[in-house]
Structure 1
Amino acid sequence: MIVELRTLLAVARHGTFSAAGDRLGLTQAAVSGHMRRLEEALGFALFDRTGRSATLNAAGLRTLARAEVLVAGFDALGEPTTDEEWGKPLQVGAIASVQATLVTRALVPFRQRFPNCRVHLAPGVSLHMMDRVEAGELDVAILIRPTFEPPQELEWIPLVREHYVLLAPQDVRGDDWQRLVLEQPFIRYNRSSFGGRQVERYLREHVPTLREWVEVDDIQAMVAMVEGGLGVAVVPLTETIVPLPTRVRAIPLGGEPIHREIGVLCRRVAVSDAVKGFVACLRDKSNCELSSSRALQE
């Protein structure tokens, strides 16, 4: 019945038999068959059926809660019972700006607690890593919080908040960030990332035109370009770039400031002790907030 229970969870998660089938690679008829077999095995109906629609009834909702526990327990059968039995690497995805800082700090106590657990650390764009966690390819991902809610089966745990500022070469005069963006060549934060999309929306609201000439996905590279006099850039003040180079200055953005929240994304159920331990280490080693004012003082 595990297959049927998984199908029940998919129906509840995605809303319809058709959507669940698309997610599971099944036809709508196959999903309906799974639900009929489950109802026959249980001896009661799980859905109120009206025409082509089917809604979980009270018995179905009770069964759903128990099914989540049963499926999680089944998935956990193959997990190690002790740290020494942990054979496969912990698959961790992380955006580039946290690998040398937050992730490295968290790995120190994690290694002490799980000395026999290997870790595979992979870089990636936040959107792609979220998909990989959902698909089970990553155990944990440290990424920028999306503007939309993650899938229900994934849990979001906030870690760090970083504010955006305008970076300008030290010899470029003026503190009016909008005028500088209009007058200077603009180095854009890549729009394929969640952070780049935040900047794009903010600029559309506050700046009519840009002298954009390059789009970059690496924050440290953007700082180096500003230091080299190639233009100005809107970036988050992440740990990897503060204190800023002497030839670069940060200018607060006007209007309502924007920030990016960095956090952990992992599955809600069937989480191993190693995953829980790594998340705990991340939370312990994260800063509550890296604000613009604090970073500018360093």
Structure 2
Amino acid sequence: MLRELKTFLAVVRFGSFASAGANIGLTQSAVSAQMQRLEQDLGYALFDRSGRAATLNAAGRQAVAFAEDMLSTYARLANEGGVSERSGLLRVGAIASAQASYLVPAIERFRRKAPGWRIRVIPGVSLNLLAQVDSGEIDVAVIIKPPFALPAELKWRVLTTEPFVLAVPRKLRGTPWRELLKTQPFIRYDRNSFGGRLVDRFLKKVRVTVHDVVELDELQGIVGLVAQGVGVALVPMAAALQLPRSVTALTLGEDTFVREIGLVERHTGEQASMAAGFSACL
């Protein structure tokens, strides 16, 4: 709640959600989300939302003094407890395939460079993790590159690209990939994920109609279904992905497409310098 209280006082100081966000490094939507979360936690509204300005209601005006006192008390507690820039908590979001690959060596390097800092890994899908970085709930996240432009406050760093292949039962390895897509049951990478959208776009580009039988987001689970003979699937060759001997990965030749894995972080904020340090470790 401390983050929300800081944002609340910024709104009070600068007069609107947009102005507060511009001064503390958040988008207007992120400020609005934090204020809604604060109001839900408190159980009552703080603002009169009838106009464009962030006008405090009676409860909101009373809350200002309490918020200032709470933040002041926390600051004194931190100083007396010896908390310094050499210690803290870094919240790192990560898609499932990144947790077992890129994050392991990065965390080890970061721990050697900043032993006083703790890391909390928050799992999730790319879209949700991106929203959490934007709202300030997490500091940095390893995700699939979004199919849309990022807010100006966020920074994108490319880690790697992963080519998509057609995962098929080994007995079908001699059949052209296009024919397999047309004739075999299709295990679809969840269309709500950024990676699944890439698959959907590819199928439209090559003008192939598939016969969906299952749709899920977990890549290793998709490969497991292929191994059991349920169907074929377009999957990225992720660093942590393991193909059993019963599964063959067919390349797509000149039609190969990729998913870009990268790090999204904020330009500004209390944790910006440590987030940049963790980025360097990745």
Output the TM-score relative to the length of structure 2: 0.73
- DSSP-derived class of the 1:159 partner: strand
> Which of 8, 14, 19 pairs up with 1:8?
19
Q: For the structure 1 residues 279 and 229, does the alpha-carbon distance in structure 2 shift closer, same or farther, using more than 3 Å as the test?
A: same
Percent identical pairs in the alignment equals 37
- Does the 8 Å contact 2:185/2:212 carry over to 1? yes
Letter in 2 for 1:264: L
2:241 corresponds in structure 1 to 241
Task: Give, in whole Å, the separation in 2 of the partners of 1:21 and 1:266.
Answer: 17
Matched residue, 1:264: 263
Q: Provide the residue aligned with 2:90 in structure 1.
A: 90
RMSD of aligned C-alpha atoms? 3.1
- Unaligned ranges ≥5, structure 2: 1-8, 37-46, 56-74
User: Per the alignment, do residues 147 and 30 of structure 1 end up closer, same or farther by CA in structure 2, a change over 3 Å counting?
Assistant: closer
Structure 2 partner of 1:168: 168
Alpha-carbon contact 1:164-1:259 (below 8 Å) kept = yes
Equivalent position of 1:142 in the other structure:
142
How many residue pairs end up in the alignment?
234
Query: Hey, what's the Cα distance between the residues in 1 that align with 2:227 and 2:252?
Result: 19
Question: What's the counterpart of residue 274 of structure 2?
Answer: 274
Q: Which amino acid aligns with 2:19?
A: L
1:31 and 2:53 are equivalent in the alignment: yes
Deviations 1:23-82 (A, max 9, x none): 77775845399xxxxxxxxxxxxxxxxxxxxxxxxxxxxxxxxxxxxxxxxxxx999643
Q: Which deviations, in whole Å up to 9, do the C-alpha atoms of 1:183-219 show, x marking residues without a partner?
A: 1111110111100011011112224421210012111
Q: Residues 108 and 92 of structure 1: is their aligned pair in 2 closer, same or farther, counting only changes over 3 Å?
A: same
Deviations 1:229-277 (A, max 9, x none): 22110000011125x3222111122553211111111111125332222
Aligned to 1:168, what secondary structure does the other structure show?
Answer: strand
Which amino acid is the alignment partner of residue 113 of structure 1? K
Does the Cα contact within 8 Å between 2:30 and 2:136 map onto a contact in 1? no
TM-score by length of 1: 0.69
Q: 1:9–1:204: structure 2 CA closer, same or farther, 3 Å change rule?
A: same
Check conservation: 1:188, 1:214, Cα contact below 8 A: yes
Cα distance in 1 between the residues matched to 2:231 and 2:159:
31
Partner of 1:129: helix, strand, or coil? helix
Q: Where do residues 32-181 of structure 1 align in structure 2 (5 Å cutoff)?
A: 81-83=84-86, 85-86=87-88, 89-181=89-181
Contact 2:154 2:265 in 1 (8 A): yes
Structure-1 separation of matches of 2:116 and 2:54: 45
Preserved contact between residue 173 and residue 248 of structure 2 (Cα < 8 Å): no
Specify the code of the residue in structure 1 equivalent to 2:146.
Answer: P
| Kept after mapping to 1: 8 A contact 2:165/2:236 | yes
Q: Residue type of the partner of 1:159?
A: L
Gaps of 5+ in 1: 34-76, 283-298
